[in-house]
Structure 1
């Protein structure tokens, strides 16, 4: 096959939620562009996007306490919570557009309404939660949030958690009914099916071995894992959305923006309940507070999940360590990611993050009974025989040099790294990840296609009515968006506006 025949407009590496989202946006904006997808596994959505490899929370800062911090003066900083909430609203708007346009169907197969709750114990934590509630509940984005420290009320909200609770320690919770459970694996598969219908070329069992700049284009060396042949493909634009595998490919590209960046892999475990009677007693995502010294991704939560149209109950996450950057990766991933240009950054992070290292060692050493003890802080009557262990996905936390944190600062969010000319971009990092996929891919579009943005703006506003504006500053638009997305996606419309 000639190079001319292998040239295309856009190549997406990795068949996860990020590539699926970017491909879906670009196909609406530029239907004539040719797009190819390369995925080393046999199906889409099998790594981080898979429903068993993430928490399935529609992250909107409704229940995640790590998105609100207490300032030295005792007040609550809600700026990050507002930002995350608005970003999730963008995702819901785009998904609604796809449903309304008949590009995907049956939204209940990927999103379900589910109360989001925060629960804390102890006087200090209860005081924090009450202040957090007071700061958020008057904000239009969090309208409908309730607070209670009354055990009788809590028995109605979270009967499984309150059953058999004998301690006199103060306990409190907030509850908001407009939360969601999102099956990102199902959504990813839907989006790629839609893209195939739009003549996007899907190449499964194809691994990208190398990537380099050639004659103004990006040339990819791609290995067909089925027959062992090597193909060369060129494109004007490349997006690296390979989850934990993105860092290695970014390094192969040689762009200066990809230097001085490292990655630290963290694996996860969830406990899954196999007793239907226990599963039936709980209906919410309940997030607790991370223990002192624990990283943000370790916040314990008890989650109702809908997987394969079946109600499930999961608790976790428990962190672990593996040098792999993907569940299907290599034991040498971490070692081979260390390069001359990032070795100082990586070493600096090693010195700084001794507390994280200690935490991970403790987590790895946990016995099943120790995990059950942590579960019993949520469900006092939990029985070991009712719970199994599920190995979740690998997350690679970004390590880079920052002004605020100095050399080797560990980042806990998602990060877009793109070339100065916009010809290539990579997504690194983890939470809140999939929930904010549309916002993040709009960032890729704005960074990489600035010359098209003006022409694309009407279509972008059609797909995402709040594009370019703040919902917080436009309460009427927020009301309209909330009503239309709830209707299109089959979600609760109980949020009250005043």
Structure 2
């Protein structure tokens, strides 16, 4: 093996939607900076960002019931829903900027308009959904949300779900027509194709084997060129670890104190995919239900229309699976290798606290296909087993850390940025809402890691993302203006769709 060493300004590890977003932001803000990308697989967007490895939901809290909770006094807390919605608005604005400036084209290849719906069964849940609807529609972000518990209306909204359903069943749904289906794999590949034209050095089949701090404060990466069978050494002033589940291992290798006392627990996802196109054509929405009592937030069942490879598909899930791998293409030793002296007590504490999650995972692993079909039949009463196949979706690593609120070994269900005190390196950990909020998360990276430049960059950021630093929930006119302009740029308006 031969060795070589190179210096650059920025290194992005992992060619997923997060690195794509950060790379494109930096290219607009500091076009003179040299950027290198290292990805161990053969193409961009092949792990968590891949269209078959995530739900493809443009998470804007329009349908996800786990973002709204009922308080002890019976009122509905929508604060998390507002945060998630505003974060997705940032993504829409940045994607619109990329389209308007010809940095990516054909937005319909990665984003499509699709109603987002919540559906519940049982009188108590119907009452909850009604109160949720009343609370949310008072906020400008959710105006236009419709509620119905009328079977005839529901038959028009969700004919496949209402077919052969008992007439006396208490059932209700809300509907937001402004929802979206997002192909994050296609979006990631589009952005990297553009970055390549801007002289970003993208290296596929390159695996980062080591990372260490040098005397001058920069970072040196030991990179294995898989096809070339050689080891390379690359130095950068700033490094972003955007390798999905692989980020935790790389973070641990940096040795930064901020990476201590953090562990991870891998959970894989399974979906049922409809192979009968006649059935798939009868459904046109993303319909989210309510998680069963004791089930974790990522287990919310949903029946999704998807657009993949320009074809309409229908998926139901997720069902949880288990693999010790931290990536779908990872190693069976990933989980064991992540256990370190500094995080073992954190992991053990989580094991004691999360017995409910352990029980849930075991139950999920023991499900037969027919038992999974029974869960699907709560959505589609007449679903036939021969019409559905099981596919393994992406691998997610849930972050475990010590927190003030939750104590030692607290399981985190969101997306988290861990950065060095001097901002020279940052890692992205966690799962949903993930890709939908990529722009918000990468703006957080810029604020944490480039405090000296952020003031200078602000005018350009506001050009790309007009609502930067502004609450859209508190500025309904600005929200409407931005929503309309992004809908037009991304071809989400009905009249523009009809002309395709």
Superposition TM-score, scaled by structure 1 size: 0.98
Q: Residues 285-329 of structure 1: CA distance to partner in whole angstroms, max 9, x if unpaired?
A: 000000000000000000000000000000000001111000000
| TM-fit CA distance, 1:2 | 8.6
Give the equivalent residue in structure 2 for 1:380. 381
Equivalent positions of 1:248-287 (< 5 A) are 248-287=249-288
> CA contact under 8 A between 1:483 and 1:493: conserved in structure 2?
no
> CA contact under 8 A between 2:240 and 2:426: conserved in structure 1?
yes
Give the equivalent residue in structure 1 for 2:240. 239
| TM-fit CA distance, 1:492 | 3.0
Q: Residues 244-268 of structure 1: CA distance to partner in whole angstroms, max 9, x if unpaired?
A: 0000000000000000000000000
Give the equivalent residue in structure 2 for 1:430. 431
For the residues of structure 1 that align with 2:73 and 2:268, how far apart are their CA atoms? 36
SS at match of 2:482: helix
| TM-fit CA distance, 1:227 | 2.7
Give the equivalent residue in structure 2 for 1:445. 446
Query: Which stretches in structure 2 are left out of the alignment for 5+ residues?
Result: 496-500
SS at match of 1:53: coil
| TM-fit CA distance, 1:168 | 2.3
For the residues of structure 2 that align with 1:327 and 1:199, how far apart are their CA atoms? 30
- Check 1:262–1:167 CA distance in 2 against 1; reply closer, same or farther (3 A cut): farther
For the residues of structure 2 that align with 1:169 and 1:175, how far apart are their CA atoms? 19
For the residues of structure 1 that align with 2:143 and 2:25, how far apart are their CA atoms? 30
Equivalent positions of 1:122-141 (< 5 A) are 122-141=122-141
Deviates more, 1:253-262 or 1:164-173: 164-173
Give the equivalent residue in structure 2 for 1:324. 325
Runs of 4+ in 1 over 3 A off after TM superposition: none
For the residues of structure 2 that align with 1:472 and 1:174, how far apart are their CA atoms? 20
SS at match of 2:427: strand
SS at match of 1:392: strand
Equivalent positions of 1:7-18 (< 5 A) are 7-18=7-18
For the residues of structure 1 that align with 2:494 and 2:237, how far apart are their CA atoms? 44
For the residues of structure 1 that align with 2:261 and 2:359, how far apart are their CA atoms? 25
In the alignment of these two chains, the number of paired residues is: 493
Give the equivalent residue in structure 1 for 2:37. 37
For the residues of structure 2 that align with 1:492 and 1:298, how far apart are their CA atoms? 31
For the residues of structure 1 that align with 2:412 and 2:97, how far apart are their CA atoms? 32
> CA contact under 8 A between 1:486 and 1:493: conserved in structure 2?
no
- Check 1:198–1:250 CA distance in 2 against 1; reply closer, same or farther (3 A cut): same
For the residues of structure 2 that align with 1:476 and 1:373, how far apart are their CA atoms? 46
For the residues of structure 2 that align with 1:248 and 1:422, how far apart are their CA atoms? 19
> CA contact under 8 A between 2:273 and 2:391: conserved in structure 1?
yes
SS at match of 1:270: strand
Give the equivalent residue in structure 2 for 1:156. 156
> CA contact under 8 A between 2:3 and 2:232: conserved in structure 1?
no
Give the equivalent residue in structure 1 for 2:79. 79
| TM-fit CA distance, 1:228 | 2.1
| TM-fit CA distance, 1:476 | 1.6
Give the equivalent residue in structure 1 for 2:191. 191
The answer as to 2:313 corresponding to 1:312 is: yes
For the residues of structure 2 that align with 1:168 and 1:273, how far apart are their CA atoms? 28
Give the equivalent residue in structure 2 for 1:46. 46
Give the equivalent residue in structure 2 for 1:481. 482
Superposition TM-score, scaled by structure 2 size: 0.98
| TM-fit CA distance, 1:167 | 5.7
Q: Residues 419-473 of structure 1: CA distance to partner in whole angstroms, max 9, x if unpaired?
A: 0000000000000000000000000000000000111010000000001111111
Q: Residues 199-243 of structure 1: CA distance to partner in whole angstroms, max 9, x if unpaired?
A: 000100000001000021100000011132110000000000000
CA RMSD across the alignment:
1.0
Equivalent positions of 1:294-309 (< 5 A) are 294-309=295-310
Give the equivalent residue in structure 1 for 2:180. 180
For the residues of structure 2 that align with 1:6 and 1:492, how far apart are their CA atoms? 47
For the residues of structure 1 that align with 2:302 and 2:273, how far apart are their CA atoms? 12
> CA contact under 8 A between 2:3 and 2:230: conserved in structure 1?
no
SS at match of 1:22: helix
| TM-fit CA distance, 1:42 | 0.5
